[in-house]
Each structure stands twice: as structure tokens, then as C-alpha cells.
A and B are shown apart, each in its own frame.
Chain A
Amino acid sequence: MSEDSPILFGLYVPPHPQPLLSPDANQGYSNLRAAFETCRKRIEESDADLILVYSTTWPSVVGHQIQALKESIWTHVDDDFHYLGSMPYNFKIDTDFANEYCSAAKKRGLHARTVEYEGFPIDTGSVVALSLLNPDNRIPACIVSSNMYANRSETIVLGKSASDALIAQGKKAVIVVVSSLSNRMFTEHIDPADDRIHSSKDNEWNEKILQFFADGRLEDLSQLSREIHGQIRVQKVVAYKPAWWLASAMGQHNNYQGEVLAYEALHGSGGAVIQLTPSTGSFGDKEFDEDDVEFYQGDRNVLNKENF
């Protein structure tokens, strides 16, 4: 861990339920499950006080929502993969951190709020990640949503707010991004044995992204997010945001030891388990096109006459 970072390491994991519910249906699902297991052990062996999850399968509209219910208990069922079974969960949430994160986000100009309601529908990706990475609730967790309208500046600031909150509370964390790489699934039901990445193009882009991850080039990936979104992301939301959040939370550089623990197809989408550990060596920072941003000042309305 670098001296000024409260983040021990970062993980990038897929949101689909197969590694949790049907790991034996396909060798690839087993590989992903094994990679989750490896990460679970590493988290247990770490000095982490907290697991912080940013989930792309928790969309929000009203600002950024942060899970704060101390004991979040429910049985979740996925909208598409309901036939694979139910996902009962009982997560221990770090309410104090959730409140701190919300406060830190507001200080940086974001609209944010905690959610603390019995029965709140925690999303598939978060349930899968926390069930596999922290099955015994050894470490308290927190989950933050992905605002469907948010773009780069807002997401960068949201990531920095996470770091602010960790520093303010003196906590060390493992942070987890829940997201596919390419996210185009097959639109018909398949035999899991036949699962593969949806297209060669998706696979090639995934492989390129994995090269960057393996080289520890997180900031470079953050800078490439818009291109990735255009090339291999089904346009459900305005942008591909997980690299923005992960990079800004971890310090916006390329000084990481990257490790791709698994990369497999999940009903056609690209699922990878990746670890990024802060290190001293660097691939080198490039000349970045995208500006940094410290505070969110709202969308600039280009049609507003005051801008002329």
C-alpha cells in the first residue's frame, strides 16, 4: 500500500449470478468462482476495515445512493436468471462509513443520500460480490450506486469522495467494482456448456482491457472509458463508469501491480476477476486528454444564453 492511500487493493468482478449459483455448469464459471475464492482469502488476510462496493447493477436517479442499513437481510432473485435459484443474504453494513461517504460526496458538490430501509433491493452484482468475497461478514461493507445520468466528472468526484471518507475515518479498505467488461449477453437461453464471449470484437476489446489491467494501467483505462463504452458496451446508461470510479478512488495513476485472476464468458458477456494492488513501479503516466476534476459543479447547460 502506498503511504497516502487508504486503499489496500482494488478488485474488478462481474455482476452475473452464475459463479454464485451455478459454478459447476461451465468450467469458466468454476474458474471465476475460484478467482472469487482467491480474492476472499486475500481480503481475509489483509488488514482491511471495510469492503466498499461500487455496483453498476445498482442504478440510481436521485444523486448517488449509499447503502447504510446496518443489517441488510433479504432473499434476492435475479430478473433474468431467476431459474438458477434464490440468493439469501445478510450483510453487515458500516453505517458510520456510509454517512461519512455521503457527507464527503456532498462536500464535493454531489447530490448524495444514504438508504437505510428494511427490504431495500440490493442488486444482483452487489449480492454476488459480497456473498463470495465476504461470506461470513468478517469485514463490514458499504455499497454505492451508479447514477444512470452521471458522466465522467460526477463519477470521478464520487471516487475521490470515497477516498476522502476513508481518510477521514482512518479506515483501510478493499474497494470492489462490480461490472462486466463487454456487456452484451446472448438474447436467447443457452446451454451453459456452450457459453462464449458474444463476438470476436467484444473478445478482442476485453483482451486489450485485460492487458492494461495486467500492466497496472488503471488511469490509462480511465482515460479510455468513453472509447470502451462506444465499442463494447450495450448503451443502457450514458457511459462506462467503473474505471473512472476505481481510478479516482485509488489515486489516478498507473502505479499498480495488476493481476487478472480469471476471464470468462457469462452468457456472452465478458466476466473478469482482477486485482490491482498499489505499487511503486509505474508504467508511466501519459499525456491525458481528459481533465481532472475536484468538485462537481453541475452540468453545464450549453443552451443557456448565459454561456454565450
Chain B
Amino acid sequence: MTKGEIVLGCLAPHPPHLVYAENPPQNEAFSEGGWETLRWGYAKLARKLKTIDYDAIVIFTPHWQTYIGTHFLGLPEFKSKSVDPVFPNLFRYNYDLRVDVELAEAMHEETAKAGIITKMMRNPDFRVDYGTITSCHLLNPDWDKPIVTISSNRNSHYYSNEVMIEQAKALGEACMKAIEKSGKKVVLVSSHSLSHRHFVTEAPLPEDMSREHIYNHSQYVWDMKIIDMFRDGKMQEVVDIMPEYTEQTIAETEAGGLIWMMAAMGVPSYPAEIYGYQSVIGTGNCIACWDPNNNTRELVL
């Protein structure tokens, strides 16, 4: 069997505002638009994905929070409605998705071998989190590829950002082993914002872009620092600086997604493709991808 591989790694933030702004038929809420810089960036990355041959999307989500190990979706289909508990006015999305259970089980097995506490989720009533749905919808609106969702074990809360990084690295390496053994071509998705301090009030019209800006300048400066390192291919430095960055900006990197993806990809030293940066209700959001193929990697922005 051919050795499996990661064909792309995507940083894909999941503010539900972006799906809301698109007005897809699956979402009940209606908007007049908004957050175009991110939406257009997503559209361009989605077009790139259409040109890539892959079998499954593996997504690490901060909104399936587990404290007892790392969990994997373990049933072939999930169909329900996802209502965002924080922004229910914006996101009430009817989903119908397929899971690559074989790949999920392989990852579960390799993760357990690595000494990480892990569990398959096989309850058919389980509601898939809105982070998974938002990122996957924006990357692949056709939903024509199966997914694997990995929960985020909250080591930052229980221990420290340093412990989170060590465990996320081990998880990434275990997932890579499973992918190689599977023979499949896989797109990894780390679903999260960068700086993550929200405004605690909302404009009467949420998509009123005259009200949107980063929560404070410090968040912005830190986000730019990280994005510059993405551009320069300094991902080991990003890993090294991650505890301080996460603490300073209350970043959603606390869940471990970016470290997981970097570890699985062997900590790339090539430049990331940047597709956009914009704030959503004060948080900093960057769409980026790491393309290991020298022939298809491009300078986007």
C-alpha cells in the first residue's frame, strides 16, 4: 500500500459570523454580509482545495472540549442542527456529514499507543460542534469529503500551556503515523482564531462592519508577529513562543490545534500561504495554509 500523506495543513478560524455572512441554505439566520476579507480568503483557499487530490479532512476543534483525554468522532454519519451557544442569533446550521471512521479508529489506536488517553465517540445523538462545521463548510462547502473530528483536551486549563504543547505534539505525531499507515491523502485543519479576546456586547446589526475592530492593539501586534513568522517559515519559533503568545493574547491556540498540526507536518520550515486576517467581534483571525508541495505552494498575500 502507498504510504499515506498530509497534502495540506490549514489554519481555519471558525467564527460562526462567517457562515452567517455567506447565507448558505443550511443556516437559518439571514445576514447582509460582512467580514469579506476572511470570506474571500476562505473562498480562495477552498478553490485551491478543489485542485488537490485528497481523501479526508482531519480537523482539530476547540469547541469539542474534553477533559478526559482526546476523543474522535466514531460513527459514519451525523445529521442534526448545530446551534451556536454563544451566537445562536447567527448560527443555526443543519448539517449532514460523513466521517472516515476507519481513519479515526487508526488515529485513536496510534494515539493510545503513544500513551495519550483517548476515546471513540459512538453516541448517535452527539451534536457535532460548530467549530468543526464552520471551518469545514468554509473550506469545502460541497461537503463532498469525509471528515475526522478530534476533540481538544484542555491541558492548558488543567496544567499549563507548556504541557498542552507537549501533548499536542505527541498527538500530532501519532496522527501522522496513522495517516502514513492508512495510505490516504489527508488535509489537516486546525480550527481556531489567533488572539481571542471578545467584545462582550454585540452591535444591533452584527454584520455592521463600522463596529468591527481588533479588541486592542496589543492583540494586533502579537497576531502580526505570529503571522510574520508563518510567512517566513519559522514554525519552530512559533512553537517555541506559543506559551507566551497564548498567555498574552488569550489566544485560541490554547486548545493545541496549531501545535498538533505542526507536529504532524514535521514542523514546516517553508513559508505559509496567507489568505487573510481580520477581526471578528474583536478576535484576531488568520486564514493560512502550509503546502508541502514545492510545485503548488504560492505566495498568496
Q: Are B117 and A77 in contact (CB-based, < 8 A)?
A: no
Q: Are A62 and B202 in contact (CB-based, < 8 A)?
A: yes
* Contact status of A187 and B117, CB under 8 A, knowing A80-B68, A236-B154: yes
Interface status of A169 (Cβ within 8 A of chain B)? no
Contacts of B158 in A (CB 8 A): 184, 187, 234
Q: Are A75 and B125 in contact (CB-based, < 8 A)?
A: yes
Q: Are B200 and A63 in contact (CB-based, < 8 A)?
A: yes
Q: Are B85 and A58 in contact (CB-based, < 8 A)?
A: yes
Contacts of A121 in B (CB 8 A): 83, 85, 127
* Contact status of A82 and B202, CB under 8 A, knowing A117-B83, A267-B68: no
Give the top 7 A-B pairs by smallest Cβ distance, nearest first.
A86-B125, A82-B123, A77-B126, A119-B81, A75-B125, A117-B88, A119-B83
Which residue in B69, B92, B151, B198 is a CB contact (below 8 Å) of A61? B198
In the complex, which range does the number of interface residues on chain A fall in?
A: 35 or more
B115-129 vs A, Cβ < 8 Å mask (1 yes, 0 no): 001010111011100
CB-CB contacts below 8 Å: B11-38 with A: none
Interface status of B40 (Cβ within 8 A of chain A)? no
Contacts of B295 in A (CB 8 A): none
Q: Are A79 and B64 in contact (CB-based, < 8 A)?
A: yes
Interface centre among B88, B89, B153, B199 (most CB of A within 10 A): B88
| Shortest Cβ gap from B108 to chain A (Å) | 13
Number of interface residues of B (CB under 8 A): 34
Q: Are B86 and A188 in contact (CB-based, < 8 A)?
A: no
Interface status of A288 (Cβ within 8 A of chain B)? no
| Shortest Cβ gap from B62 to chain A (Å) | 12
Interface status of B157 (Cβ within 8 A of chain A)? yes
Q: Are B83 and A79 in contact (CB-based, < 8 A)?
A: no
Contacts of A119 in B (CB 8 A): 81, 83, 92
Q: Are A188 and B69 in contact (CB-based, < 8 A)?
A: yes
* Contact status of A63 and B83, CB under 8 A, knowing A77-B127, A85-B123, A117-B88: no
* Contact status of A62 and B68, CB under 8 A, knowing A121-B127, A234-B158: no
CB-CB contacts below 8 Å: A117-136 with B: 117-121, 123
A251 to B198, CA, bound (A): 32
A234 to B71, CA, bound (A): 21
| Shortest Cβ gap from A154 to chain B (Å) | 9
Q: Are B126 and A82 in contact (CB-based, < 8 A)?
A: yes
Minimum CB distance partner of B283 in chain A: A61
| Shortest Cβ gap from B296 to chain A (Å) | 37
Contacts of A205 in B (CB 8 A): none
Interface status of A103 (Cβ within 8 A of chain B)? no
Q: Are B68 and A186 in contact (CB-based, < 8 A)?
A: yes
Q: Are B119 and A111 in contact (CB-based, < 8 A)?
A: no
Contacts of B122 in A (CB 8 A): 82-83
* Contact status of A188 and B125, CB under 8 A, knowing A111-B201, A121-B85, A147-B200: no
B183-205 vs A, Cβ < 8 Å mask (1 yes, 0 no): 00000000000000011111000
Q: Are A187 and B69 in contact (CB-based, < 8 A)?
A: yes
A185 to B69, CA, bound (A): 11
B45-77 vs A, Cβ < 8 Å mask (1 yes, 0 no): 000000000000000000011111101000000
A239 to B222, CA, bound (A): 26
Interface centre among A61, A111, A235 (most CB of B within 10 A): A61
| Shortest Cβ gap from B215 to chain A (Å) | 11
